[in-house]
Structure 1
Amino acid sequence: MTALSQGSGPSQEGPTFIRVRAALDRVDRVTKYAVIIAMAVMTILVVTQVVFRYAFSSAIDWSEEVARLAFVWAMFLAIPHGIRRGVHVGIDALVVRFSESVQDFLFRLAAMLGAGLMAVIFWFAWDVTVYTLPEMMPTLNLTAAVYYIAVLFAAIHSLLHLALLAWGGSKTWEEEPRP
């Protein structure tokens, strides 16, 4: 008997749910590597800048801006991964006293409200991105809006995770039992 026919875990939601979860998993794998690359770029640039300043009494004029940009992108791309794993700060002193069905309802409600908040964040980030599009960075031939584009990506990716959690519940990302 499969997990689907047993009615346990996230499979009970059906094949559409499983396909959506798999698609979001593929997006997560891509953004995971983007976070790793951004952190590596930031680290390499900061270390190189320190070496240049102290060893050669020189500086790389664009390194600070690129390192800051890599940091911003890494942090915003990592937010949905925290949502997926449930590692963001939460206070559950009251919620854990409720029955499992009430806890599931509250989890799904919180996920829906969080998805709504991400939609609002996307809307405002869009406005700021459009507003800052003509501004250029001081040392790079790049629009300053690139900082806010990271917020746009994070908001959409987080919204997708929260919508999936509202749909599938807290066990959405648990591994399916092996036969």
Structure 2
Amino acid sequence: MSDPSSPPRRGLGRAVDLGFRGLEALLVAILGVMIVLVFGNVVLRYGFDSGITVAEEVSRVLFVWLIFLGSVVVMRQKGHLGVDMFLAPLPKVGRWLCRIVTDVLSLGCCVVLAVGAWDQALLNAENLLPVSELPTGWVYASALVAGVGLSLLILADLVDLIRSGPHGEVIEPNVAEGVS
């Protein structure tokens, strides 16, 4: 999410902001559907001795999508946990180099995640979940979407880091105060 105190962005930056707002709205909708399905199923089970047979399975699939899509939103907000115990004592050039190394390693992990998820999605495209009969490839597709989204965000961060150079502004990872 962009800083509310900054001037409005134009062009591609504005489109990205709108895309992430849409993604956040989708996450809220997914969570809402999950709540309705699970709560409705509980009420029906204990109140009326019946239930929605697909509720548990669909909720599980939606939960997986919620987690993977949420990780992309949190990455953009720089909200993932970071440890600065080793980074803090380094000079600015050392912090810059460490950030580049960690971004390259993170990018590699996200590419491996995306490639593996792609393979699994294709492999399981014909397999159906037992109750809802949704293709199990859809579950793996969530990891593919997250892997691609995270890779793009890390790549943009890496480009900004390299452009700023070792003496430019190095954005530190978000770390809770007093934690070491």
User: Given the two structures, how large is their TM-score scaled by the length of structure 1?
Assistant: 0.79
Q: Deviations over 1:57-92 (max 9, x none)?
A: 111100001111111111000111222222222221
2:28 matched residue in structure 1: 36
Superposition deviation, residue 118 in structure 1:
0.7
Aligned length: 155
Greater relative CO (CA pairs within 8 A, separation 6+): 1
Alpha-carbon distance in 2 for matches of 1:41, 1:107: 39
Q: CA 1:100–1:19 in 2, change beyond 3 Å: closer, same or farther?
A: farther
Q: Deviations over 1:16-64 (max 9, x none)?
A: xx86554443332222111111111111111111100111011110000
Aligned equivalent of 1:87: 79
**Where in structure 2 are there 5+ consecutive unaligned residues?**
1-9, 162-169, 172-180
Instruction: Give identity over the alignment, percent.
Output: 25
Aligned 1:2-13 pairs, distance under 5 A = none
Aligned residue type for 2:46: Y
More helix by share: 1
Mapped to 1, the partners of 2:154 and 2:123 lie a distance apart of 28
Aligned alpha-carbon RMSD (Å)? 2.0
Q: Which stretch shows the higher mean deviation, 19-28 or 95-104?
A: 19-28
| Structure 1 gaps, min length 5 | 1-17, 172-179
1:154 aligns with 2:146: yes
- Tell me, in whole angstroms, the C-alpha distance in 1 between the residues paired with 2:66 and 2:43: 23
Q: Which residue in 1 is equivalent to 2:167? A: none
Letter in 2 for 1:134: E
Matching of residues 1-179 of structure 1 within 5 Å: 21-169=13-161, 171=171
Identify the range of structure 1 (22-31 vs 106-115) with the bigger mean alpha-carbon deviation: 22-31
CA contact (8 A) 1:61 1:139 kept: yes
**What is the TM-score normalised by the length of structure 2?**
0.78
Counterparts in 2 of 1:88 and 1:48: CA distance versus 1, 3 Å:
same
Runs of 4+ residues deviating >4 angstroms: 18-23
Instruction: Quote the Cα distance in structure 2 between the aligned partners of 1:77 and 1:31.
Output: 8
| C-alpha distance in structure 1 between counterparts of 2:16 and 2:101, whole Å | 21
